[in-house]
């Protein structure tokens, strides 16, 4: 049994993307994600705790904020910028750590935090 499958916990996140190839390149360059393609309109990634995928469609900015953890927040920020992401909230402190927020190439806003 897969230990990452926890009852009533987030296990899969699915994004819409205008350009799946660009999305794959962006997340591979920033965070080293690896993808498995399922036809030309779907690609999936697998993580240690959460899996997900990208399907063809028009991204819509929503109210859910996906938050990634980083051991080196400055390096993660620099990789986002280098890959073409836009920093929308620079690194700031909050109780428990620091974080920044960026938009990816499809306009999704995502946060990265560290202790």
Interval 82-111: pLDDT, tens: 999 999 999 999 988 999 999 999 999 999
Selection from 17, 111, 107 nearest residue 62 by Cα:
107
Q: What is the pLDDT of residues 51-62, one digit of tens each?
A: 999 999 988 877
- Which domain, by its residues, includes 87? 12-114
Instruction: Considering only the C-alpha atoms of the chain, give the largest distance between any 2 of them, rounded to a whole number of Å.
Output: 43
The answer to whether residue 5 sits within a structural domain is: no
The answer to whether residue 4 sits within a structural domain is: no
Residues 6+ apart with CB under 8 A from 77: 87, 91, 100, 102, 112
Which domain CATH number covers 97?
3.10.180.10
The answer to whether residue 30 sits within a structural domain is: yes
The answer to whether residue 3 sits within a structural domain is: no
**What is this structure's pTM?**
0.78
Q: What is the pLDDT of residues 58-79, one digit of tens each?
A: 888 776 789 899 999 999 999 9
* Residue 34, SS3 per DSSP: coil
Q: What is the pLDDT of residues 10-34, one digit of tens each?
A: 788 989 999 999 999 999 999 999 9
The answer to whether residue 1 sits within a structural domain is: no
What is the total count of domains within the chain?
1
């Amino acid at each position: 049994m897969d230990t990452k499958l926890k009852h009533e916990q987030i296990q899969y996140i699915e994004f819409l993307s205008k350009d799946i190839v660009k999305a794959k390149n962006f997340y591979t360059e920033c965070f080293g994600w690896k993808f498995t393609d399922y036809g030309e309109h779907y690609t999936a990634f697998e993580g240690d705790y959460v899996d997900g995928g990208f399907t063809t469609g028009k991204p819509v900015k929503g109210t859910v904020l996906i938050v990634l953890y980083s051991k080196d927040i400055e390096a993660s920020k620099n990789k986002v910028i280098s890959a073409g992401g836009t920093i929308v909230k620079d690194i700031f402190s909050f109780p428990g750590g620091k974080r920044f927020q960026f938009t990816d190439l499809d306009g999704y806003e995502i946060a990265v935090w560290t202790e």
